[in-house]
Amino acid sequence: MAPKQQCAKYEYVVTPTGSKILPVEEPTEPHSKDEESPADYNSGGYLQVQVNDTFKNGRYRVVRKLGWGHFSTVWLVKDTQTKCHSALKVVKSAGRYAETARDEIKLLSRVASVSPSHPGREHIVSFLDSFTHQGPEASHICIVFEPLGENLLALIERNKKKGVPRALVKIIARQALLGLQYLHDECDLVHTDIKPENILISIPDVEAHIQSELCQSPTPTSRRVGVPHPTKSRAGVTIPTAQRPRRQVQIFDSQPLSSPRSPSVGFGFNSSSSSLSSGFKSRLHSGVPSASSSYGASIPKVPSGLSIPLRLSTNAASSPSSLPTPTATSPELTGPTTSPTGCPQSPTPTKPGAQKIPTRPSLETELEQVEEFCGPPISIKIADLGNATPSKKHYTEDIQTRQYRAPEAIVGRKDWDTRADIWSIACVVFELLTAEYLFDPQSQGELFTKDDDHMAQIIELLGDFELEAKMGGKYSRDLFDHNGHLRYIKTLKPWPLKSVMMQKYLYSEADADALCDFLLPMLVPDFHKRARASDMIDHPWLTVTPADEVVGEW
């Protein structure tokens, strides 16, 4: 029997000489699913950027690709004026993307200038420059930012077996709340898209870190792929407009900046930012075993699935450490500083009087020195203000990524405010702790939609809530009947947050109570009764205690 041959692929093509059916030209090398699609390089899409390209009359020279998103590609560039590196965001050329970028530039300028001394300002990404670049086919808006490390999703992925250490989550949560307090109270802005991907890790002495990484990292790699022809839709059928040679595009592999690792004990910074002497750090490392961090094999992120029965996790929570750890306190801010390389840096949290550390014989006392003289082991910045909007004059009512979407956005209300972000940050904190979504709704064919399942999961976790909070939205009548009952999901399986933490994640009752006391005020379904950022920044749960895990390599 002859071997089965693969069927050829054909497409219906409209040409100047008439309609034809022609074989589909397969790309010689498929593009990586981890990079942008070649199809997005058609008219209105990305600008083709290559290493060593220059922007703004030669001021910015491209070093390597940092990443990409639906709206833009992002590149590490060297500023020939300041001799420092920056992150260059090159936006797609289509009008809707350019308009969003112009809005983002206005908001970034406003955020940078409103109240520079506010402690939350340091947790919002710094905007450095913007300009328009004329490409071969269209103009592209470009925005220059301070270079930052990886986002929190990467941190979650590295800790997907046990979740991010609780002590680290507390520090991240407080900094994020400080940043949101600045956006909400000082700038009157709602971010509208708080999620792990939009919270980035700041790098102390970033220029030295970049120089070190460029010396060690591999040369940027790329592949040439064919750009599919743009298509038109006619009566539900996709029809290529013409058959002509494919344009080739060079797609580079992303090389995001690695985040600096903290020492393998306590809360000290790495060598680039710590005030500890190398000898002092050496004694700490030799005297205390490092906290083990098991990253393990890659496994898919599993939603908490609160609307379906679940088997209990067999992994116990990390054992509390007996080592003392610092208490999270509000850091004092210094003015802009200059790195050893001469590049300007954003102010960094410091403690007064940290110029010299006396030698102490006791290990416990040395750990106290870490607490006294080292700041938090991580600093985060909220990024991507492209969807931010004034709290009362909304640019759009379609807000938030699904898993982090607040009830008022799900039902389609128009009177939402800054507290929509608070719901999202509570979902992010849960995800950091568990490496699982708090809510991950699924549709079930024609039986119910994701919105139906989302509201069902919220009610199962938090209990039923007032009719007034369910109504008043564009989709309220689609989700609820006149009594406030879900229209399409009749059987619910309540599983309160405290029980979830104890039964699935094996929290002690005391730890579960403490976490619920922090999260539940931010997860009140009626946003009028939900806590604000200013209400939560000094919550007791945010204080790092000796019962929290010692932060090791993260």
- Please tell me the distance from the alpha carbon of residue 265 to that of residue 243, in angstroms, as a whole number: 62
Nearest to 527 by CA among 441, 483, 462, 456: 462
Gyration radius from the chain CA atoms:
26
Phi and psi torsions of 123, nearest 5°: -110, 20
Question: Do the beta carbons of residue 521 and residue 536 sit within 8 Å?
Answer: yes
Single-letter code of the amino acid located at 407: P
The position carrying tokens 């002497």 is 277
Q: Which residue type is seen at 77?
A: V
The rounded distance, in Å, linking the Cα atoms of 214 and 538 is 40
Which one, of 78, 23, 71, 89, lies nearest residue 52 by Cα? 78
In contact, 455 and 422? CB cutoff 8 Å: no
**Token code pair at residue 398:** 């379609």
One-letter amino acid at 448 equals F
CA 290 to chain centre: 28
490 is in an annotated binding site: no
**524 φ, ψ to 5°?**
-70, 120
The residues, any chain, with a CB within 8 Å of residue 384's CB and separated by 6 or more, are: 125, 193, 197, 198
Are 204 and 269 in contact by the 8 Å Cβ rule? The answer is yes
Q: Bridge-partner residues for 60, per DSSP?
A: 55, 79
Pairing of strands 189-190, 237-240: unpaired
Give 430's Cβ-side CA count (13 Å radius). Answer: 30
Catalytic one of 34, 103, 193, 384 = 193
Spatial distance between the Cα atoms of 74 and 97, rounded to a whole number of angstroms: 15
Q: Are 76 and 67 in contact (CB under 8 A)?
A: no
Q: Which helix (H) or strand (E) holds 67?
A: strand 60-68
Secondary structure of 332-367 as H, E, C letters: EECCCEECCCCCEECCCEECCCCCCCCCCCCHHHHH
Query: How far apart are alpha carbons 550 and 26 in whole angstroms?
Result: 52
Provide CB contacts within 8 A for 106, sequence distance 6+: none
Active site residue 511: no
Numbered residues of the known binding site for ATP: 89
Numbered residues of the known binding site: 89
Q: Which residues are part of the catalytic machinery? A: 193
